[in-house]
Structure 1
Amino acid sequence: MSTPPGHMDPEAQTRSEERLKRLIEASGAGTWEMELTTQQVWADAPLLELFGLGGTPAEAVTVEAVLAGVHPDDRDRVAEALAKALAGEQGGRYAADYRTLAADGRLHWVEGRGQVFFGADGKPARFIGTGLDITARKEAELAVRESENLIREVTDALPVMIAFVGPDLRYRFVNRIYEDWLGTSRSEMLGRTIAEVIGQEAEDAVRPMAARVLAGETVTFDRRIIYKLVGPMDVKVTYLPHRNASQEIDGFISLVADMSEIKKKEDELRRRSEFEQQLIGIVSHDLRNPVAAIQMSTVLLQRMGLDEKQAKIISRIASSTERASRMISDLLDFTQARLGSGLPVHRARVDLHQVAETVVDELRVSAPDQRIVVKHFGDATGAFDGERIAQVVGNLIGNAVKFSPENVAVTLEVRGETDAVVLSVHNFGEPISAELLPHLFTPLHRGKDTEKGVRSIGLGLYIVDQIVKSHGGDVQVASTREDGTRFTLRLPRGPWPPVS
């Protein structure tokens, strides 16, 4: 009797079954067999454990009992795969991955494989199957998928273009922002080169940096790149090399931030600031001449024979003009500090004791009712710009006088140290608020006006800070209700390189 097509003769089938059993034993899988003519089932202990049938008597093991151990959501699919194998589909091969409730009470993933062997009459005669516990593998696959989903969610939420690019400059991963910015779906970008996605001109612009990152260097750069689909964009780009398990560089991570709007706003703010500062400089410069003419006129008028009322009016004009002149000087200094390279200083050998006395003598004339105490300690000579330091001392003492209660002294201390001269100005009165302290040296930032009706444009302390910095020094301030307010300046003696 000839063997039906697609089936083995009995001797070959026996050899095939023996080989299959040896392979199954080597795999570590549980096995089960079924005589299809009698529906008798045999299963080893590992497989019975997987199906929650541990300890079941051999005669009680049935196909129904095995299928009952399969998770309900997978049971129909497993039964269908087994039925197709028994019907001779796919040469009688059986394959299905499914879940079972094992004897330990836990769900297990099982890789089911099997083969139907047909008799000489072409009918299914015997089935040999395996069940391999692949729970660890499935859990690992699930963890990988969850990790990939998390990475996808995180990268999609970030407001930067994130991509992974291979050494052939082809995209292997892109986030959602790539789709939004470039108007191209991920499927259209993955596997394509940089040139194909963003254009040849763009690839030419980044290719040198790509070569550096593929050599192992982290690269960051700012550039205007012309994208073929969206046009020019100002971007900040970071390339990070990626190494595989063998520590070989197999591509790089690309982070691209669109800086176009930020750069546009920065340019607008810069232009506005430059215009404002230039306007301040021009206006203050043009005001200097008429104010100087008024000052000279008041001096001449004061020398004439004036009655008391006229003298009082001229005195007010002179005082107001002097204040306007100081404001103009502050504006010019502010403009020079902002538009230039800081306030210039012209160093010479100067004794700051003498500078302090000169400034205080002048202030005593303008504020005869205010007691100003000067204390001198040590050698105060050094390489300083005497006029600029006088400007600093005058500003600080002037402020102290404004904020001091009547009949309470303002103190100026000049102390010579080994490599520096320290000046401090102290007064009692209302302390500087904690909110104002961080902004004390910010230009055009004013605190409350004093009760004495003094007004300012908020540049004095900024100029003080700039002059001290131009000397390589620093300014510190402390202010409390109990201890009063103290400004402390530390000025290195020099010699100091000339400021260009």
Structure 2
Amino acid sequence: MTLVFSDRPDPERREDAPVTADERARLAELERENQKLKRINQVLMDRVERSMDVQGGAFSLFQTAIVLEQKVRERTLELERALRELEDSHRDLARAKELADTMRTRLSEAIESVNEGFAIFDGDDRLVLCNNKYLALWPEIRDRIVPGVRFREIAELAASSRSVADAYPRPDLWLAQRLAQHRELKGPYIYRLSDGRWVQVNERRTRDGGVVGVYTDITDIKEHETRRRERELAEKSALLQSTLDNIVQGVSVYDREQRLVAWNERFASLLRLPETVAQKGASFADFVLHHAALGDRGLSLSALMMPSCLVEQRWQDDTVLEISRNPMPGGGFVMTFTDITGRKRVEEALRDSEQRIRLVTDAVPALIAYVDADQRFRFVNRAYEDWFNRTREEIEGQHMWAALGDAYYEVRKPYVERALAGEDVTFELELPGDNGAPRYAVATYIPHFGEKHEVLGYFGLIHDITERRLAAEALADAKDSLERRVVERTAELTHLNEKLRREEEALRLAKAEAEQANLSKTKFLAAASHDLLQPLNAARLFVSALGDLEQPAPNRGLVDNIDVALASVEDLLSALLDISKLDAGAVRPEVADFPIKSLLGALATEYAAVARERGLELRVVGSHAVVRSDIRLLRRILQNFLSNALRYTPSKGGAGRVLVGCRRTKAGLRIEVWDTGPGVPRDKLGEIFEEFRRLDTPCANERVRGMGLGLAIVDRVARMLDHPITVRSEPGRGSVFAVTVPFGTYARPPRVLDRPVRSATNRLAGTRVLVIDNEPAVLAGMRALLEGWGCSVATAASGDEALAGLAEVSPDVLIADYHLDNGVIGFTEIARVRSRCGPDLPAVLITANRTAEVVEEAQALSCQILNKPVRPAQLRAVMTGLVG
């Protein structure tokens, strides 16, 4: 009897296929088991041969041996099966290696076919693969650029071999900048090679942390730009020269070497310069020497040599020149020479005329003054100086309120305004006298009109009438009798009572009109919310669809900024809508008992990410108390407290903190929000609850600065719920905003405030969606957004149009607007479509109407409801849940 163990190799196995460590261990184990079975077989055979006797016991032993041989054969077959499985694994591994080699070859060919230089670096910044165009950029070091070399080594070789012209004269500075660009990957970089070529580098990060770089030769573009700049420079030079030639002043421009580079003919003719001084390239020293040779007939050398000046100087033939010298940023300077002879003569004539006028006005006993349209004193006479005991230098040029004082100016202010409006005004004044006794005067303001009948100022004349006024008062006192005074006083009281009654009636009517106007405004805002939110809803849909597309870095920033701006508009409209609903009484509280920890836990989860983003520590201390309130409106109060605390609290290097806690009081549970922000001044605590009132408090994040409506909403909601609001604040240390809520007797499960957003990755692909909306912009935005999620979208402006399209395809989800054309509402169209497609068709209603009636009707029809403007993430979560 012979036992055979098969250990022949697999004929299909490749001899050069690599053997893994697991396969080698498995082969060794099978060989050990094969040797063990051989030893067992040999021992059994020896025992059979030794135990044979003449009584026939050998036959039973032979049978035993046969049984053992059968077991050994079974184990051998198992071993052969294991070997075959191992050979199959070797064959699959060889195929995978061959496929990998093929893919690597194809990748290399694809990279070589790229027109730009291409290089890939792994997560350790080592070169994995590059094409010949990349190596051609570095002819001096291409032999040293091999797979495995680090990017830093390549950059150092490029700098040290003078391959990059921009690296000199500071190769270390260029190397540091290039390595920083390679780490940050903020955009394309451009540098010039030593052979004159220009290269633009675009680098992107791979998923494994590596970097892919594309090196584009833009030499032609740079040369074109250089030629264009030279052409533009020539055009600008011609334009500059033309401009200079048309200027009435003499102009000369000297460069940093103080050589004449530009001038006009007026410069040469006005100063009577020879051609050697007024020609291109002439030095400024030649100009100075020329005037030094003229002596007294030349310009002042001290003025010419000053770095910056503005001087007037007498020139030949009694000409007066205004000389200005101004330095240029890049070196050099500009000099201008203006002939101001005529202006100086006019000034001298005006001074002579003013002197004669002063001689006349100073002799007049009345107070005379002239005030311009800006209410500045431009002229006063000597009598004016004597009356106010101030010199004219202290009065002229001053504003009236500064020269006269606030008290005296307020008396004159209405008459000044009438005079500056073009009206002659006469009124009486009471002025202080020398001995403290009042003096009386009559003032007359006469407007001064210009050529176009505009008011340039007014003339003021004041006459002293103290003696006349005192005599008149004494005469009046002597003539008046007591009886007449009583009659007059009685008449005055009667007239005053009638006037007060009329004013009270007018005040009552004005109050009623104001209340009616406020109510009309509130109703208008509530009614117009749908029209206001429609275009905003479309814009948010378009921006979300645009954000799902791949965008360059600059465009991505614009998309993010648009999204932030639309979010601000959305918050403002929502706040205005909430205030209008509160003022109109459209919000009805739904008071119930609930545990406060259910609300505080949701707020802690909602604002934890915001606090981390702003570097603040947010701590929410729970409570087991049961309160009685409207959980939705109470949440709105606490949300505003938390939003303000996180918005205005600076991080202070990680020390900024916001704490939410509860205190039990006799009046109820006081929920407090503490922050370490800048605080609110004590005299401003009442203003912060007014609409659109924002204090000049530095905001920790100006990008999300509030609109001044949050606390106004809090005040209205708190008064509706009868929940007292308290504020304590210390400037520089922080604030505490608190609301006191009455205790409840038992807790029932609160309404769900937030529904967790489920991941919708690849869950909506292929979903057929029907959208009904009467706004074309909203339909276009919905189509762009949903198609970006992989959905198949059909749109309709009405229910009839939607029903007509159902013959072609049946939708998986129906989305309808609440307000449609001709007074049709979305619930009606949803019912019509369901009658055709089945009552179980998932439907989503989008509306700006937040009333309880709409919510109840949506629940009755088994419709999901979303409020405008629709948040794309919320829409995607709802659709994913409906499809799932």
On whether the aligned pair clears a TM of 0.5, the verdict is no
Q: Which has the higher helix share?
A: 2
Sort the TM-score into its range (normalised by shorter chain). 0.3 to 0.5
Q: Which has the higher strand share?
A: 1
TM-score by length of 1: 0.45
Computing the radius of gyration from Cα coordinates, the structure with the larger value is 2
